[in-house]
Amino acid sequence: MESSREKSIVEFFKAKTILVTGSTGFLFKNVKRVFLLIRAADAASAMQRLEHEILGKELFKALKEKYGDGFQSFARSKLWPVAGDIAHENLGIQDSNLVNKLFKEVQIIVNVAATTNFSYVSGTERSGLIPEKRLSMGETLRSGSNSCYLDIEAEIDLVEKKKVELQADHNLTPLAQKLAMKELGMQRFFGWPNTYVFTKAMGEMVLGHSRGNLPLVIVRPSIITSILRDPLPGWIEGIRTTDIFMMAYADRKLQSFPGDPQMTVDLIPGDMVVNAMMATTVAHSKQQSEFIYHVGSSTRNPITYDSLLQCWFDYFSMNPRTGKDGTPLKITRKMTLSIRTTFLIMVYKFLLQVLHLIHFITCGFIFGRLYDDLNRKYKYLKLLIDLFEPYAFFKGRFDDANLEKLRAMMGKEEMLFDMDSKHIEWNSYLHDIHIPGILKYE
């Protein structure tokens, strides 16, 4: 591993040309050029998305203050939006000359593209300390009699054939086709809890198998939360994962959920993830091998679900949200996380079915509005349970020994790129930075 004392992180990125996919923000002050792959129909649309969805964010406040009226010209000198789509061949780039330009100029590729926000490339049935281990081609998380080989090409072929079959059925609406594809995905996890982490795992396998002599660094963050320090404390793009529950709780739509309150919830601020990505890129830029890094907090600075829920209660009992009618949504008790909640939900469903029967027998004259309201709430809760319940019982902790070794090698200048979860004081971070940030940028 190249010592960061020999070449600082800042010095390394000077005059480098970088291709970033899935970009909503990236440190670009010292680089030569950053090509940003943006899902768009053409160059003009890509530029418009760059202007409004990236540069228009408050995230760039510090640079805007520094460069003033010259910010736009500075940004355009560094950033080159590329219209395309990572899901297509040649990144969906239609211009062959541009493809050749990227091939000749790009020295570093940073892929952070995704369509949702699950983060672990890990099965939820795993427990104990999970090592920073590469995934071999065809490996699955199933063991024993359920073990099998994952044929990625066969999976892709299955998906393509299913799409053709659905598109040929003119009786199906686009929404019905989409739901059918989702149902297919729900059946083929091979031990992973959802299609997002499953396809991430397949991506790791393909990259590791096909990289040749290129250096490959795979950074596996846990649940990414708002920025802790730089460049804008509290900033985050949208509401996701645990924050979905927090907002539902604050709006008094959710009071309990299936889970174990003593389980660790692995959170990590977004700036620490970016810092880790930059530091690991520098460390292995000259090494023709594959490196795996976990970036999380469950090993070095764990926080339990119970502590997280207590922070939510402390904040919103003092700072209640406002309802549609303008009255405060007072929070009087902490959200409960319990195995008993599963039983209560079953009772709720049974009572809902009784209401539906009465509603049907009386042709909608009795309990009609009540049934519709409760049924809507039940469907929302069921969706949350299907998506997140496995994580509420997750017993694993992610080993970050490789990241700790890298931190130990960093010089004084590189310490500015903080990626040590021990530096997070959870109560003050959640109460003073993260929750206010969610409310501000939701």
3-state secondary structure 341-352: HHHHHHHHHHHH
d(CA 122, CA 125): 9
d(CA 431, CA 436): 7
Task: Check residue 7 and give its pLDDT.
Answer: 53
Residue 43 has pLDDT above 50, yes or no: yes
Task: Check residue 124 and give its pLDDT.
Answer: 53
Q: What is the DSSP letter of 84?
A: E
Q: Is the pTM of this model over 0.85?
A: no
Q: Which residues of 358-380 are buried (b: 16+ CB within 10 A; e: fewer)?
A: bbeeeeeeebeeebeebbeeeee
Q: How crowded is the C-beta side of 438, counted as CA atoms within 13 Å?
A: 24
Residue 357 has pLDDT above 70, yes or no: yes
Tell me what the mean pLDDT of segment 175-184 comes to.
84
Tell me what the mean pLDDT of segment 174-178 comes to.
87
Residue 28 has pLDDT above 60, yes or no: no
Q: Which residue has the higher pLDDT, 241 or 305?
A: 305
Task: Check residue 33 and give its pLDDT.
Answer: 86
d(CA 84, CA 286): 29
Confidence of residue 123 (pLDDT cuts 50, 70, 90): low
Task: Check residue 4 and give its pLDDT.
Answer: 42
Quote the Cα angle for 237-111-19, to 5°. Answer: 105
Where are the strands (E) in 377-437, listed by range? 395-398
Task: Check residue 114 and give its pLDDT.
Answer: 65
Confidence of residue 1 (pLDDT cuts 50, 70, 90): very low
Tell me what the mean pLDDT of segment 77-92 comes to.
87
Residue with tokens 């053409």: 42
Q: What are residue 322's phi and psi, to 5 degrees?
A: -110, 130
Query: If you count DSSP H runs as helices and E runs as strands, how many of each does the chain have, helices first?
Result: 16, 14
Mean of all residue pLDDT scores within the chain = 83
How confident is the model over 251-300, as pLDDT tens digits? 998 888 888 889 899 999 999 999 999 899 988 988 888 999 999 999 99
Percent of the chain past pLDDT 90, that is, above it, reads 29
Listed in sequence order, the residues at least 6 apart from 190 whose beta carbon sits closer than 8 Å to its beta carbon are 140, 141, 142, 148, 150, 198
Closest CA to 383 of 264, 251, 246, 245: 245
Residue 421 has pLDDT above 80, yes or no: yes
Tell me what the mean pLDDT of segment 34-61 comes to.
88
Percent of the chain past pLDDT 70, that is, above it, reads 86
Task: Check residue 5 and give its pLDDT.
Answer: 40
Task: Check residue 146 and give its pLDDT.
Answer: 54
How confident is the model over 373-391, as pLDDT tens digits? 777 777 777 777 766 776 7
Q: Which residue has the higher pLDDT, 7 or 442?
A: 442
Task: Check residue 6 and give its pLDDT.
Answer: 40
Q: Which residue has the higher pLDDT, 226 or 393?
A: 226
Q: What is the DSSP letter of 92?
A: G
Per the CB < 8 A criterion, the answer to whether 197 and 222 are in contact is: no
Q: Quick one: residue 295, left, alpha or beta (phi over 0 = left, psi -120 to 50 = alpha)? A: beta
d(CA 334, CA 254): 11
Confidence of residue 349 (pLDDT cuts 50, 70, 90): confident
Per the CB < 8 A criterion, the answer to whether 141 and 126 are in contact is: yes
